[in-house]
Chains A and B, each alone.
Chain A
Amino acid sequence: MNFTKQTTAIFYNLKPLPIQQMLDFDFLCERPPSVIAIVHPGKKGVHKAFFGQKEVLIPVYDSLQEATQKHQTAEVLINFASHRSAYPAAKEAMETTSLKTIVIVAEGIPERQTKELIALAKQQHKLIIGPSTVGGIAAGSFRIAGYAGGKIENVIRAKLYRPGSVGLVSKSGGMMNELFNIIARTTDGVKEGVAVGGDLFPGSTLLDHLLRFEKDEKIKLLVALGELGGKQEYDIIKARQEGRSTKPLIMWIPGTCAEIFPWEVQFGHAGAKTGSDEESAKAKNQALKEAGIIVPESFERLEEKIKETFEELKKEGKIIVEEEPMPKEVPLDYAEALKEGKVRKATNITSTISSDLAEEPTYGAIPISKVIEENYSLGNLLALLWFKKKLPNYFIQFLEKCIILAADHGPAVSGAHNAIVAARAGKDVISSLCSGLLTIGPRFGGAIDDACRYFKNVVDNNTLPAAFVEDMKQKGISIPGIGHRIKSIRNPDKRVELLKEFARQNFPATKHLDYALQVEKITAKKAENLILNVDGCMAALFLDALKSSQQFNPEEIKEIIEIGYMNGLFALSRSIGIIGHILDQKRLKEGLYRHPTEDILYLNDKE
């Protein structure tokens, strides 16, 4: 199996990042996209990915069978399944004729399963790379599994976009990437690099790849990094002795530190473990050296050994360094560039009341858990999210009283009625609630807001109450907040009394309330029921609360009134009642409401 610019792959398990990184590599190397199909059990359709600045669609199948049938040219399966499902997927791939190489990324596949896959691969003449690997890179041709070589900047720094003369194989993926850089510094670069994975029995061994590199004429120099544990390095010695591997080979076995542990240690890789003496790094390095392989004194000397060997091959004319091409520029991913501070963009939305960017969502700057811990009441919450201030206690209590007072007015008012009709038409809670809320406006529920505007205006302008009443009369507008259906001066509204009582005891000043009461004095003389109603009282007291809290400047108060905070408060409060009615109707299983015809005056034109 050779990885070329024509090699294409099926990607198992839809992982956007490594797929994108394979395509970015393809774009950099000026080859067509290498991932031509994706298998993701339970999903069908297409996956969008970038190829340069343009987007391409990669078909997604929910079975490997379908993907291989439709994409016979794909020779590589990049198996990104978890350690639980990687084995069945790999086994299925073994049975196909088109797939020749199976890359298994997952770590933690049982040894018994890997052994079975190894045996099957031998029968079916497939190449396994992994398990427990990041894959590898065929420089300028094919990126095996997407993560190998890291981000595109590193791929460019290590000159992996064009082939060099070195064949690299390593147990460790991280060290492969480190060696990509070392080799780029000291030679004309890597032709191909593969990480075989840290398991004791990798699907393909260091030797398997060295033998592949032996057949690749472009590769003149071999570098291999083994590891303590296992015996696969001894197979390399055998192959050297038998003349199956002849190219200059520089090798190092990390893990000489193991001898300082007085007990058996399991290092990071599953296969990296102290065991018998022959499996130790020291013994393996020694044996490799005796077999004529170039083994430095330590890893630190590996770089100079590579350089020396490369220079010799160059001098002997065995390596001719080619002219350096300019790598193509791969566009930065927007999210990435943003994260790195390389681009900026004006935002479309501003939010100043809450955030979900921190570990925990915040109301203002306060984490929600703190809101709970400190027992914020509903009024405190309004202060935080609506007013963005810490409001005095009487203000908070006043807001809460308003919410309680305005929560419901029975089923007959337009908001509740509409909601009931909608609920009985079989609409869901939210639709029914909206249908009720939509009635709130100038005639229903809007009185508080209107009263706020009028009372603010007259108090600000020092209009005398009598002049105000006269003016409204002239204009033919009834004063918002004045008048009650039943109650009168002699039969006062208890709610208003309670609110007034509360304000007198707790508010520092009640200038607007006093004004409203003076208006009431005048209007009540005209008709008994023209008294300050609960809407008017709330409005006047809201103005008093805003002003006396000394938290808002006149501009802010003006804005609050113009925006219609009291309408918001009313909608919030009344939603409680409306939802109650909706739930009530649903509980009662009431059928579709049809208005009785006798209640409708039909006035149709006669024929």
Chain B
Amino acid sequence: MARVKIREFDAKNLILAKLNRIYKGILIDSTTNLEQLSLQYPWILQEKLTVKPDQLFGKRGKLGLVLLNADFQQVKGYLQRHLNKEITIGKATDKLTHFLIEPFIPHEKEYYLSITSERDHDILHFSEEGGINVEENWNKISKIEVPTLQELDLEKINIPEKIKKFIQEVFHLYRRSHFCYLEFNPFTFDQNRNIILIDTVAQIDSCGITMLLPKPFGRKSHPEEEFVAAIDKESGASLKLTVLNPKGRIWNILSGGGASLIYLDAVVNLGKHEEIANYGEYSGNPTTEETYQYTKTILSTMTKEHHPQGKVLLIGGAIANFTDVEKTFIGIIKALQEYQDPLRKGNVSIFVRRGGPNYEKGLRLMEQTGKELQIPIAVHGPETPMTKIVEKILGVSS
């Protein structure tokens, strides 16, 4: 299954619970009532605290977003300054919406531990000189490869017994709980010689997920995406939607994990990437009802605003192995009929290219629909190269 990143808060909760330890951490978002917080967590008034964003991006210290050794008043001040503030990291711009408050642990020694999952083994990296400069000290890292069917053996490694035991436990739960990536940088000991996780990054196989998944930093939320994700979850087939640019001209209903990439690549290749509105993919022979719901979602989103040149709907796919083209197209057509008015008003044109079981019937139905609804629908079968329609849409020829 797919790997997904989870919040530091969730990762620590999950890991510490499996280690039978209590996790002292509070996830703050815009709905949190800061004035009431100490009622539930009295320790925030008694201890020194740290606060940092918890939105799946790293290098928070270097970005100046980590507040250390602060009292709760200072934390509130920090949150007032940062909550809902927009920042840019690399190409992604997004609001800071989630923060993590934890007790501040004064410490000297910082350890590094990471576990990555490769095809034939899991790789463990450990260093007694972790922390912000771990990469500079990479030569001091010990690397252990643990083949899939073997257990971790730390006998020959010279590290304190307490850390050994901790690493053993973490490695076990890493495998058992479907983690794909785990990094503690750093972890340390508190005054009572308990191991404390300072910063944690985790990826988990989506089969092991029980929590609500956070969206990647920079990705805007669209209710349409959630609606499609809900259909996808219930379905035996696969239906995916990522909205990239709601004002974009080119909207996509693409079939097949591989073919969908080929179509978007073609648009990007012709230098028109700013026109791409979404990544939309279905595969695995969805039912007529599912393609209807899916298409409806896309049509409702794309017809909200008009584009001066008129928008384009690209219904593209390779030659399907077992997805019934006719059956899936009947669902798409039902949605087109329902949205015929907005489609005509928005001057939308539709381009279709598809092959596979019953494609002749599917394409014929699509062609008829275009005539009936008086919406331009250009229909192509497997004899037309896949991305020829992209050239037609963009008015270029290669």
Contact = CB atoms under 8 A, between A and B. Distances in A.
Interface of A: 17-18, 107-112, 115-116, 118-120, 122-123, 134, 147-151, 154, 170-178, 180-181, 198-201, 205, 225, 227-228, 232, 254-257, 259-270, 272-273, 281, 298-300, 303, 339-340
Contacts of B93: 262
B365 to A, nearest CB: 13
B273 A260 contact: yes
Contacts of B120: 115, 118-119, 122
A174 B320 contact: yes
Interface in B361-398: 361, 382, 385-387, 398
B320 A267 contact: no
Contacts of B240: 266-268
A200 to B, nearest CB: 7
Interface string B1-15: 111110000000000
B357 A257 contact: no
B281 A260 contact: no
B284 interface: yes
Nearest to A274: B216
Contacts of B58: none
Contacts of A175: 256, 258-259, 262, 318
B322 A268 contact: no
Given A225-B258, A299-B387, A340-B361, A268 B218 contact: no
B321 A150 contact: yes
Contact of B279 (A199, A265, A303): A265
B265 A172 contact: no
Provide the main secondary structure of the chain B interface: mixed
A267 to B, nearest CB: 6
A228 B268 CA distance: 15
A298 B320 contact: no
Contacts of B320: 150, 174, 177
Contact of A111 (B178, B276, B318): B178
Contacts of A150: 319-322, 355-357
24 contacts: A108-B1, A112-B175, A115-B119, A122-B120, A147-B322, A150-B320, A174-B256, A177-B320, A178-B386, A181-B382, A200-B3, A201-B119, A227-B261, A254-B262, A255-B261, A255-B265, A257-B264, A261-B242, A263-B94, A264-B216, A268-B256, A270-B1, A272-B257, A303-B385
Given A107-B238, A270-B1, A262 B356 contact: no
B217 interface: yes
B92 interface: yes
A289 B385 CA distance: 24
Interface in B244-295: 244, 255-262, 264-269, 273, 276, 279, 281, 283-284
B321 A147 contact: yes
A251 to B, nearest CB: 14
Contacts of A108: 1, 207
Contacts of B238: 107, 268
B149 interface: yes
A174 B321 contact: yes
B257 A269 contact: yes
In this complex, the interface size class of chain B, counting residues with CB under 8 Å from chain A, is 35 or more
A270 B356 CA distance: 23
A260 B242 CA distance: 13
A173 to B, nearest CB: 5
B208 interface: yes
Among B242, B244, B261, chain A packs the most CB atoms within 10 A around the CB of B261
Contact of B92 (A149, A151, A171, A263): A263
What 5 A-B pairs come out closest when comparing CB atoms?
A172-B258, A268-B257, A174-B256, A257-B264, A269-B257
Contacts of B242: 261, 265
B266 A116 contact: no
A108 B117 CA distance: 17
A111 B91 contact: no
Interface string B110-133: 000000010110000000000000
B321 A149 contact: yes
Contacts of B398: 300
A54 B198 CA distance: 70
Contact of A263 (B180, B218, B267, B269): B218
B29 interface: no
Given A110-B205, A200-B3, A264-B216, 12 more contacts: A110-B208, A111-B205, A115-B117, A118-B148, A120-B149, A154-B319, A172-B318, A178-B382, A181-B382, A227-B261, A262-B218, A299-B262
B257 A110 contact: no
A255 B140 CA distance: 36
Given A111-B180, A111-B205, A254-B261, A174 B2 contact: no
A122 B258 CA distance: 28
A331 B357 CA distance: 16
Contacts of B205: 110-112
Contact of B265 (A18, A123, A254): A254
Contacts of B284: 107
A267 B209 CA distance: 19
Contacts of B207: 108, 110
B397 to A, nearest CB: 11
Contacts of B18: none
A174 B178 contact: no
Contacts of B119: 115, 118, 201, 205, 232
B310 interface: no
Contacts of B261: 227-228, 254-255, 257, 267-268, 272, 281
B321 A134 contact: yes
B267 to A, nearest CB: 7
A175 B258 CA distance: 6
A227 B258 CA distance: 8
A17 B267 CA distance: 36
Contacts of B117: 111, 115
Contacts of A111: 1, 3, 117, 178, 180, 205
B147 interface: yes
A177 B318 contact: yes
Nearest to A145: B321
B265 A299 contact: yes
B222 interface: no
B355 A154 contact: yes
A338 to B, nearest CB: 13
Interface in B338-375: 355-358, 361
A181 B255 CA distance: 17
Nearest to A197: B257
B317 interface: yes
Contact of B387 (A176, A180, A201, A300): A300
Contacts of A232: 119
A266 B90 CA distance: 19
A171 B216 CA distance: 25
A195 to B, nearest CB: 9
Interface string B170-200: 0000010010100000000000000000000
B148 A173 contact: no
B279 A300 contact: no
A119 B269 contact: no
A256 B268 contact: yes
A198 B257 contact: yes
Interface in B306-350: 317-322
B219 interface: yes
Contacts of B264: 257
A270 B4 CA distance: 10
B273 A257 contact: yes
B265 A119 contact: no
A25 B358 CA distance: 18
Among B2, B149, B178, B258, chain A packs the most CB atoms within 10 A around the CB of B258
Contact of A148 (B2, B90, B273, B321): B321
Among B90, B91, B273, B318, chain A packs the most CB atoms within 10 A around the CB of B318
A118 B320 CA distance: 28
Given A110-B205, A119-B147, A264-B216, A173 B321 contact: yes
B385 to A, nearest CB: 7
